[in-house]
Chains A and B, each alone.
Chain A
């Protein structure tokens, strides 16, 4: 209390009187609390009310048999048992992992490659960048409908192109073996722009002096890329990989707007299965159990990726 020493004692009596001081302090804290919560209160309540509360509630729903019309019936862990023995769930896991295994590496590879290309001082870079990024702003609904047109087996442009090249036309989305691959292509078309932009920013963050030092030491451009650029991009790569994996495991929109799970259920992903079970068959309890199963799968995959990147000393998290 340095201020108190500089003032006459009678003016600072309240600073010395412990009761008064405590009271003042309480009042000030209360004022701070009111101001603080008036800033964060609404947002925090909404976030808790729309995320933490429902996430917890989903667990209780997953222990029930409930169609929202008749009263919920407690079934304990039965929904989870059903899930483990449900062949459709395992098919959905398979389809989801198949999509993720193709989509994540391809989007990262293409993102990095295109970003490196766009980082060159060449003509038309602005045009290329615009063209590659534009699909990112198109909605899943529009993308799905457009894909249905482009990959239409009879007069779609995809088959038209194949015919012009003298190749046999393909059934695309109408074939159980090709549909998911086509969805991967569509997803890449819409999402690669995002990876490109993330890598472009990361490339510009690489200090030029490291690159020049390597060049002076006699490295050629390919070696610079391999031994300087790629390691410098590693943290971004880990971050993007985790991000894209979480997105990929939740694939729903594109499936809904292209195949609605078909043909013969070959594109039913886990989220699509949850949607089908809950919103078309009104089995909300079972749907909640499956969504908890997917949550567990996502956690395992994500934690593994983070653990692996830590082990290889890439500091992304």
Chain B
């Protein structure tokens, strides 16, 4: 039940100034915190930089000793190799399709259900909500086998649908939206009703426009999860044509153990869309990650 109470969308201003204090740094000309943060930042960021740089190296450069960090020239053999030797364009397209369907479906279904459970009165509401609460306690790994069996009975195995069906909606998303709607002041909705809007009209014209921050959070989480998902497409899809980029990458890894330029090119292709998106929208992104409010 904890999640219900603790999930809450807030905009956190991470650059909010701490009250100014005059600091003495002792012997150092800079704050000692840099001694902790600088090495850590390098450890976290450098592997990704190296991934990009290595994707532009030739195999000879990669295998040279001592190892090189910066390629001597921009060599695109890794990329041509990756795209030429695999169905990568197809996999990318599949991933885009899966992510788009997942995000769109999450936004529609979770906001509808979240509003229904937050505001509407109807028979079976408690039962339905209890069912959704119960699912938070069910771990994904328990669902792996029965879902696969179910998919195979329904003929979904080996189709792209197997990759997005698990992401159509989620208990997490329904909660997130419900918590957000519960916190909205009721007066606006009541005004809408007096103006003669139907329940759906109130939802569509008054509530949804106010819910943009919550919808953004939901979209970010769903995009991350569906784009990076491995276990569902890995277990349910064995037809290469329907692989997502993540599954494609791992099978590619299995067959090209040491062709690092191609592997790193594949890695860049699979991660860069999200990393670039993150770098562009990072302030909002990190703020939406903080769904805490955990004081209880």
Footprint of B on A, CB under 8 Å?
Answer: 29, 32-33, 35-37, 39-40, 42-44, 46-48, 50-55, 57-58, 61, 68, 113-114, 117-135, 137-142, 144-146, 148-150, 155-157, 160, 163, 189, 192-194, 197-198, 200-202, 204-205, 208, 235-236, 239, 242, 246, 250, 252-253, 256-257, 270-271, 274-275, 278-279, 284, 287-288, 291-292, 294-295, 298-299, 315-317
Contacts and interface: CB of A to CB of B under 8 A. Distances in A.
Contacts of B270: 139, 141-142
27 contacts: A32-B122, A37-B122, A40-B113, A42-B113, A43-B110, A44-B128, A47-B169, A50-B168, A54-B146, A54-B147, A57-B150, A61-B145, A61-B149, A114-B36, A120-B18, A134-B275, A134-B278, A141-B246, A141-B270, A145-B267, A148-B253, A202-B292, A250-B140, A288-B145, A292-B142, A294-B142, A317-B2
Interface string B148-182: 11101000000000000110111100100000000
A43 B141 contact: no
B131 A54 contact: no
Given A47-B170, A50-B147, A139-B227, A298 B139 contact: yes
Contacts of A242: 2
Interface of B: 1-2, 6, 10, 12, 14-20, 30-31, 33-34, 36-38, 40-45, 47-48, 50-51, 54, 62-67, 69, 109-110, 112-113, 115-117, 120-125, 128, 131-132, 134-135, 137-150, 152, 165-166, 168-171, 174, 199-200, 203, 224, 227-228, 230-231, 234-235, 246-247, 249-250, 253, 260, 263-264, 266-267, 270-271, 274-275, 278-279, 282, 286, 289-290, 292-296
Given A134-B275, A250-B140, A40 B112 contact: yes
Given A139-B228, A139-B246, 8 more contacts: A39-B112, A40-B112, A47-B170, A117-B36, A145-B266, A160-B67, A197-B286, A236-B294
Contacts of A155: 62-65, 67
A43 B170 CA distance: 8
Given A35-B120, A274-B141, A54 B150 contact: yes
Main secondary structure, interface of A, reads helix
B230 A141 contact: yes
Contact of A120 (B33, B63, B113, B116): B33
A316 to B, nearest CB: 6
A52 B134 CA distance: 8
A58 B138 CA distance: 12
B263 A246 contact: no
Contacts of B112: 39-40, 42-43
Contacts of A139: 227-228, 230, 246, 270-271, 274
Contacts of A142: 51, 246, 249, 267, 270-271
A291 B142 contact: yes
Main secondary structure, interface of B, reads helix
A163 B131 CA distance: 56
A204 B14 CA distance: 8
Given A128-B37, A133-B286, A315 B141 contact: no
B228 A128 contact: no
A128 B40 contact: yes
B41 A68 contact: no
Given A36-B121, A47-B170, A118 B37 contact: yes
Given A189-B44, A205-B295, A252-B231, A35 B199 contact: yes
A259 B51 CA distance: 19
B295 A51 contact: no
A138 B294 CA distance: 27
A61 B33 contact: no
B143 A54 contact: yes
B286 A114 contact: no
Contacts of B234: 256
Nearest to B268: A142
Contacts of A55: 138, 142-143, 146
A262 to B, nearest CB: 13
B18 A119 contact: yes
Contacts of B143: 50-51, 54-55, 58
Contacts of A294: 139, 141-142
B145 A284 contact: yes
Contacts of B110: 43
Nearest to B253: A145
Contact of A137 (B41, B62, B145, B271): B271
Contacts of B15: 125-126
Given A131-B41, A257-B250, A201 B290 contact: yes
Contacts of A124: 34, 37-38
B174 A43 contact: yes
Contacts of B228: 137-141
A265 to B, nearest CB: 18
A114 B37 CA distance: 7
Across the A-B interface, give the 6 residue pairs with the lowest CB-CB distance, nearest first: A36-B122, A39-B116, A43-B113, A54-B146, A201-B290, A139-B228
A33 B120 CA distance: 9
Contacts of B116: 36-37, 39-40
A312 to B, nearest CB: 14
A132 to B, nearest CB: 5
